[in-house]
């Protein structure tokens, strides 16, 4: 049987914001380049995600050579230049992790606050914004929930579609790395993979929450709690958690490209 292949690569420059599809991406120790480098927080520094503010799902980032352009429904686009990001740092919290991020311009805060209808700030994660997954020094991570890269499988998605809503989109699961050509749920048994020169360790299944019940484009919530309800029925981890996809650590950085084979090392 031929090896699986990479069928999709995605980054989310702003945590909980819209995805960007890429033909290739550099896998750093902390995750894919420019993935979740920015995060919205409240005035106290507590992170804000689409779980509580689904309007973030419609926040689009367009990468340009010297920054990014933010756009959202009802708002004129805003150009954030990297050189506008302040050297001033502020403390922020992501789940139980506390770290310092660099402040973005007040004009960006005002633009986002107007869009979300409440005071918020945008912070940037640079090389000094040190954070680790699971409080383990060998697991550095950016503003992602817990781990640098999330892998999902097209076959596993099809198994979910076959058991429930046939129109369930992969983007609901916010993956970084999508593979095709492997049996459904095969990723649950993998421990290490290699893509070109990049080596990755599969750390744990990704537990799912109510965010996947929201339309990834509009933020509208499913009246029947789908596809979470179907997923809870057909696929759980060994300890009973509702899971889809797998959390990865980058053990050997390098370039990942769509179409490359995925070697199963363990």
Residues 213-232 pLDDT 10s: 999 888 889 999 999 999 99
pLDDT at residue 133, rounded to an integer: 63
pLDDT at residue 97, rounded to an integer: 86
| Residue 97 parent element (H or E) | strand 97-103
**pTM of the entire structure?**
0.94
Residues with Cβ within 8 Å of residue 224, at least 6 apart in sequence:
none
pLDDT at residue 94, rounded to an integer: 92
Q: Are 188 and 206 in contact (CB under 8 A)?
A: no
Q: Cα–Cα distance between 167 and 190 in angstroms, integer?
A: 27
CA angle 24, 30, 33 (to 5 degrees): 30
CATH of domain 5-31+138-264: 2.40.33.20
Q: Cα–Cα distance between 124 and 240 in angstroms, integer?
A: 36
Q: Extract the residue ranges of the chain whose pLDDT is less than 50.
A: none
**Which 3 state secondary structure label does DSSP give 153?**
strand
Beta strand 192-195 with 24-28 is unpaired
Reported as half-sphere exposure (CB side, CA atoms, 13 A), residue 173 has a value of 31
Q: 10 Å Cβ neighbour count for 106?
A: 11
Burial letters for 6-29: b for 16+ Cβ neighbours within 10 Å, e otherwise?
Answer: bbbbbbbbbbbbbbbebeebebbe
pLDDT at residue 141, rounded to an integer: 86
H helices, E strands: number in the chain: 3, 18
pLDDT at residue 137, rounded to an integer: 56
pLDDT at residue 130, rounded to an integer: 78
pLDDT at residue 77, rounded to an integer: 98
Q: Cα–Cα distance between 76 and 177 in angstroms, integer?
A: 31
* Tokens (6 digits) for 83: 């050189």
Phi, psi of 210 (to 5 degrees): -65, -15
pLDDT at residue 68, rounded to an integer: 95
pLDDT at residue 258, rounded to an integer: 98
* Tokens (6 digits) for 18: 């819209």
Residue boundaries of the structural domains of the chain: 5-31+138-264, 37-135
**Which 3 state secondary structure label does DSSP give 55?**
helix
pLDDT at residue 127, rounded to an integer: 83
Q: Cα–Cα distance between 84 and 67 in angstroms, integer?
A: 9
* Tokens (6 digits) for 67: 């920054």
């Amino acid at each position: 049987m031929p090896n699986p292949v990479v069928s999709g690569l995605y980054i989310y420059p702003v945590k909980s914001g819209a995805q960007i599809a890429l033909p290739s991406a550099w896998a750093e120790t902390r995750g894919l380049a420019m993935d979740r480098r920015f995060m919205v927080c409240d005035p106290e520094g507590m992170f804000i995600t689409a779980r509580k503010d689904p309007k973030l799902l419609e926040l689009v980032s367009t990468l340009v050579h010297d920054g990014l352009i933010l756009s959202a429904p009802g708002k004129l686009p805003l150009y954030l230049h990297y050189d506008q990001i302040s050297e001033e740092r502020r403390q922020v919290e992501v789940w139980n992790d506390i770290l310092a991020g660099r402040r973005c311009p007040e004009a960006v805060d005002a633009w986002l606050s107007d869009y979300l209808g409440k005071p918020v700030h945008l912070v940037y994660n640079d090389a000094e914004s040190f954070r680790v997954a699971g409080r383990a020094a060998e697991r550095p991570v950016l503003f992602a929930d817990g781990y640098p890269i999330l892998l999902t499988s097209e076959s596993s998605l099809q198994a979910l579609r076959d058991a429930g809503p046939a129109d369930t989109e992969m983007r609901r699961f916010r993956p970084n790395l999508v593979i095709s050509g492997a049996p459904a749920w095969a990723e649950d048994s993998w421990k290490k993979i290699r893509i070109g020169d990049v080596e990755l360790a599969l750390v744990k299944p990704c537990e799912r929450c109510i965010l996947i019940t929201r339309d990834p484009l509009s933020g509208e919530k499913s009246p029947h709690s789908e596809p979470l309800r179907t997923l809870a029925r057909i696929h759980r981890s060994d300890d009973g958690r509702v899971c889809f996809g797998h959390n990865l650590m980058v053990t050997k950085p390098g370039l990942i490209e769509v179409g490359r084979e995925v070697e199963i090392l363990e």
